[in-house]
Amino acid sequence: MTDTADRDPEFAFELRVCRWAERAWHPDGPRPAFVARQLGTRDRRWDTVVVEVDPEAFAARRALSTEGFDSDLLRVVRHAPADWQWYRDAIPEPDFPWRHVVPAVHRAAGRGVVEKRRGSRNRVEYRQTTPYPDWVERIVAIENKPDLDASAARALADQLEHDVERGLADEVWVATEATGDRVEPALLEDLPVEVGILSLDDGTMDVLWHPSTLTPDPDDARRRLVLAERAYDRGWRSYVDTMRPDCRHFELARRGMALVPRCAAKDCFQSQRECAHSCSAFEPEPPAWRMNGWPIEGGPGKGLRELLRARRERERERTESAG
Ligand code: SF4
């Protein structure tokens, strides 16, 4: 099956880039990392985000929780003291009222990542179960553009210029589909010189241009950690959460090294947008499919979700043991 069967070539390409990065990061030599997609800040969303980690610290982070922390939880967990302390003595003063911090202390305790109690004067005190590790090494942004022609390069240039100037990521790349043709030097001229260019050909990636290492602002440390936590929470297979694996036509098909969603009814790699509640071709899984060894409370759709979740955990174990 070729890209002509893609309803959304950028989506299918993005999943292949994510899978490549998961298996083969970094282009200059192996570095332990995990991958997420469609993440960023309020002003800028990146297609693919690679978070390079210290494997031992990453193992400690996974031991703390297999789910990511939102920014409120992160504030509480990261500053959790070793011994019982009033939360206001442990956490740096936020730029919003203190009373909004208390629910996050309760949530963190509910998830078992801190312990809490009522101390003197009925104050909420808490302490860590284990320390929050220093697990993030570098954050890398990849913009995916399967058809990187001159006009696409020009359109991308401003965004990439912003990424380079903003310096929230340590490195920025553009990934494009290999065409077999030499990349025109004029095309490279349209992109900031600091941005690397990758060319994906089935499962292999070539570096067409090496990026510069950017220097993130130390004041962005918390913002970067919030981003890394969201990446950890989402991963790149979470696309399935907004699609319809419970439709009888939903399949996962091998594409190079990646498993990508395919619609048997439309005989195509469907877009994320069309494979939704509004799809007129949706048909629920027949109840009989919900037996025959599939999870008791769900049919193949539930099984596919579980398969993707298990793959994510397997890859994270591999990252952990890379140390
Ligand atoms: S028929 Fe619609 S809902 Fe079902 S798999 Fe195809 S695109 Fe998704």
Q: CATH code at 158? A: 3.40.1350
Q: Is 252 in the pocket of ligand 1 (CB under 6 A)?
A: no
- CA-nearest residue for atom 7, ligand 1, is 275
pLDDT reading at 105 higher than 50: yes
Q: Is 279 in the pocket of ligand 1 (CB under 6 A)?
A: yes
Which range among 33-42, 233-242, 295-304 shows the weakest confidence by mean pLDDT? 295-304
Pairwise CA distance, residues 255 & 292, whole Å? 27
Start-to-end CA span in the chain (Å): 38
Q: Is 264 in the pocket of ligand 1 (CB under 6 A)?
A: no
Going by C-alpha positions, the residue among 323, 315, 316, 235 that lies closest to residue 55 is 323
Cβ pair 186, 150 in contact under 8 A: yes
**Parent domain of 201:** 8-58+135-237
Instruction: Please report the atom of ligand 1 found closest to the CA of residue 283.
Output: 4
Asked which of 85, 100, 128 is the last residue of a domain, the reply is 128
Give me the pLDDT at residue 3, please.
44
Per-residue DSSP letters for 275-313? Answer: SSTT-TT--BPPGGGG-TTS-TT--HHHHHHHHHHHHHH
Query: Which residues lie below 8 Å from residue 208, measured CB to CB, with a gap of 6+?
Result: 183, 188, 197, 198, 199
User: Does residue 1 belong to any structural domain of this protein?
Assistant: no
Asked which of 214, 237, 260 is the last residue of a domain, the reply is 237
Asked which of 128, 146, 163 is the last residue of a domain, the reply is 128
Q: Is 7 in the pocket of ligand 1 (CB under 6 A)?
A: no
Q: How many domains does the chain have?
A: 3
Tell me what the mean pLDDT of segment 45-57 comes to: 97
Most confident of the ranges 126-135, 157-166, 174-183, 253-262: 126-135
The answer to whether the bond into 249 is cis (omega within 30° of 0) is no
Query: Which residues lie below 8 Å from residue 89, measured CB to CB, with a gap of 6+?
Result: 81
